[in-house]
Amino acid sequence: MSDKIIKNGRIVADARLTVTLAEGEAPADIAVPAGQVLVPLAVWQARRDELLSRAQSGELGVWLAAGEDVAALADDLADLQVIALQFPKFTDGRSYSAATLLRSRYGYRGELRAIGFVLRDQFNYMTRCGFDSLEPPTGRYTDEQLEAAVASIEDFTQPYQSSVKDPLPLFRRVDRGTDQQVQA
């Protein structure tokens, strides 16, 4: 849980709790707290019927560990308002591909949250891959740092490649005629 997250480019208060499975805990048995939560994929899969109405209202979301296949949620996307993808280390880049697939291949339109080691120097890449909600570790940043971090989301005004955020690559997005070379 983090007290402040960045959502759609704005700093907002947030109290959503990420439920984790401790070793030996069975997805069918653990208590899912009331209020805004993210539950592990295994819990969602084991108790879909029980949790469905909370998911449909957006109160409950599902989080995937890095490496868990987003295809596992393909049939649930219409029912889910919130999905989170985890970064176990900020150098583990699997969730960038997972986010890209979720948005572009499966057409997911709800909130897509980055959780785990979500650091400000990766915000730009995360948002370009389709994350609209960024949850840095609790207490990691001061308000002032978070403000600066929000500004850094726009570090690259016209990126070269196609991504979730910029579906067209630069060569289709703008006119790069041959007569505007920069003289260095």
Partner 1 sequence: MYQYDEYDQRLLDERVAQFRDQMRRYLAGELSDDEFRPLRLQNGLYIQRHAPMFRISVPYGNLASRQLRKLAHLARTFDRGYAHFTTRTNVQFNWPALENVPEMLAELASVQMHANQTSGNCIRNITADPFAGVAADEVADPRPFAEILRQWATYNPEFAFLPRKFKIAFNSAAEDRVVLRVYDIGLDLIRNGAGEPGFRVLVGGGLGRTPILGEEVAAFVPWQHLITYCEAILRVYNRYGRRDNLWKARIKILVKALGVEEFRRQVEEEWAHSKDGPSTITEAELARVAAHFAPPAYEDLPAQDPAFDAQLAGNKAFATWFKRNVRAHRQPGYASVILSLKKTGTAPGDVTAEQMDLIADLADRFSFGEARMLHEQNVALADVRRQDLFELWQAAREAGLATPNIGLLTDIICCPGGDFCSLANARSIPVADALQRRFDDLDYQHDIGEIDLNISGCMNSCGHHHVGHIGILGVDKNNEEWYQITIGGTQGNGTTLGKVIGPSFALDEVVGVVEQLLETYVELRHEDERFIDTVQRVGIEPFKTRVYADRQPHRKPAHV
Contact footprint for partner 1 (CB under 8 A): 67, 90-94, 96-98, 100, 105, 119, 121, 124-126, 128-129, 145, 152, 155-163, 167-172, 174, 176-178, 180-182, 184
Is 23 or 179 the residue whose CB approaches partner 1 more closely?
A: 179
64 pairs with which residues across the strands?
A: 85
What is d(CA 90, CA 168) in angstroms, rounded to the nearest whole number?
27
Residue 67 DSSP label: T
Helix (H), strand (E) at residue 96: helix 94-100
74 close to 106: Cβ distance less than 8 angstroms:
yes
CB of 91 to partner 1, least distance (A): 5
The type of residue at 159 is P
CB of 50 to partner 1, least distance (A): 31
CB of 106 to partner 1, least distance (A): 11
Is 35 or 67 the residue whose CB approaches partner 1 more closely?
A: 67
132 pairs with which residues across the strands?
A: none
Is 138 or 145 the residue whose CB approaches partner 1 more closely?
A: 145
| Burial group, residue 84, by CB count within 10 angstroms (0-12, 13-18, 19+) | buried
Is 75 or 154 the residue whose CB approaches partner 1 more closely?
A: 154
CB of 112 to partner 1, least distance (A): 14
